[in-house]
Amino acid sequence: MEDKLLSNIMDFIRDFSIDKDENYLSGNFSLLRSQPSRDLYGMIDVIYILSIIDELQNLTNKESRSIWANRILQCQDQEGWFTKNNYRGHVKEHATAYAVGGLKLLEITDNENYLESIAPINGIRTYFNHNNFIHLMKYQGMKLSLKNFKKYLGWNYIWNASHISGGIAAIIGQTQELMGNWWDSGINAQEWLDNYCEFLTNYINNDTGLWQRAAWNVLIRKPTTIDLGGAAHFYWIYEKHKCSYPNPENLIDSILYLQKESGLYKDHPLCIDFDANFCLLRSFNQLNDELKKQYKGELRKSINNNVSAIENYLFNIPPSRWYDNIHSLPGALAAIVESYEIIDSSKYKKWNNPFDKVWWL
């Protein structure tokens, strides 16, 4: 089964390769099949995919990884954001957090440190100012924008808006050891992350374990996948910064409520499946022993159903029909890896969880 899935994944990746004759991969990947040039997300998505399935080291060497890293680094703008060649169109905070994570995953040997080559990300420094931090957290990047307005609706569409504050937090978490070289003293990343989690904890809906502060939440309080997609970006930071989840039991109940009969959370597997499995298992780990006994069977069933549905999709649909872009696959594969703690994972024993190294996906 694992061999067949690996073969399908590699067939899928080849469809997005700009240079199919490379002996060692060096980042020549596009977001779309029809796209003639590489872009930021195509380059990063393939890093995550190959890292998860434990093929990155086999398909690269130190020289090709260095070329790959430099191609990503060339996407930084004057403020340090990774905005160039961003054909996926995610906000700069998401793109930058994802790029930093990709560079970290490329660091396979001890003497590879691509993060040190990142130019100062001066765009995040402003958020160390208290007033700017409070504005960010209260509004989640909300602003009037006729172009791509769904990205800037703040709490009213938190799945997208959390890319902004969550991305900033992930950037800070992943680059905190570099900040002393970038800027003068006075920057305290750990304190900033403490404040970030504390602010979010005070803003949560205790009944659901989700952040439901949209205008329509005055009338509708039931969980939605929009709520879950946004909450996951926050919980990634909680997990990596080792903060306690505010309401893990209620969060589990909310996610179980959202799971479709198919086992998925949308019509096909993608990042929301990883979001769900991540939040389910990381919440479960924070329960007391009595609650763990109560929830373990239901969680095992939920995650088994999810992984089975993802496998069914990736095995029984030709790779050429999986997705029209490459960005959906990393989340689907990460959802499988995230299941290891609670279901039999022997068939994927070599696969890696990217969150062992990174703060963002």
Segment 89-139, tens digit of pLDDT: 899 999 999 999 999 999 999 999 999 999 999 999 999 999 999 999 999
Which residue, 29, 25, 115, is CA-closest to 67?
A: 25
For 301, left (φ over 0), alpha (ψ -120 to 50), or beta?
Answer: alpha
Range with lowest mean pLDDT among 16-20, 28-32, 168-172: 16-20
Amino acid at 27: G
Q: How many CA within 13 A on the CB side of residue 195?
A: 18
CA distance 70 to 27: 9
What is the SS3 assignment for 178? coil
Residue with tokens 């939920």: 302
Residue with more model confidence, 268 or 36: 268
With 0-12 / 13-18 / 19 or more C-beta atoms within 10 angstroms meaning exposed / middle / buried, residue 202 is exposed
Q: Please tell me the predicted confidence (pLDDT) of residue 317.
A: 96
Cβ atoms of 86 and 40 closer than 8 Å: yes
The residues facing 32 across adjacent strands are 325
The secondary structure element, H or E, covering residue 46 is helix 40-52
Six token digits for residue 221: 């309080």
Residue with tokens 């389910």: 280
- With a cut of 80, say whether residue 344 has pLDDT above it: no
Cα–Cα separations (whole angstroms), residue 135 to 132, 154, 193, 341: 5, 11, 16, 38
Going from N- to C-terminal start, the domains of the chain cover: 1-119
Longest dimension (CA), the chain: 57
CA distance 250 to 272: 18
Q: What is the pTM of this model?
A: 0.96
How does residue 19 score in pLDDT terms, banded at 50, 70 and 90?
confident
DSSP state of 109: S
CA distance 75 to 95: 10
- DSSP secondary structure, 185-253, as one string: S---HHHHHHHHHHHHHHHSBTTTTB---SGGGGT--S--HHHHHHHHHHHHHHHHTTPPPS-HHHHHH
Amino acid at 65: R
CA distance 284 to 292: 7
CA distance 217 to 222: 8
Q: Please tell me the predicted confidence (pLDDT) of residue 186.
A: 78
Q: Please tell me the predicted confidence (pLDDT) of residue 267.
A: 96
- With a cut of 70, say whether residue 193 has pLDDT above it: yes
* Mean pLDDT value of segment 198-220: 96
Amino acid at 261: E
Angle at 299 between CA 237 and CA 313, to 5 degrees: 85
The residues facing 17 across adjacent strands are 29
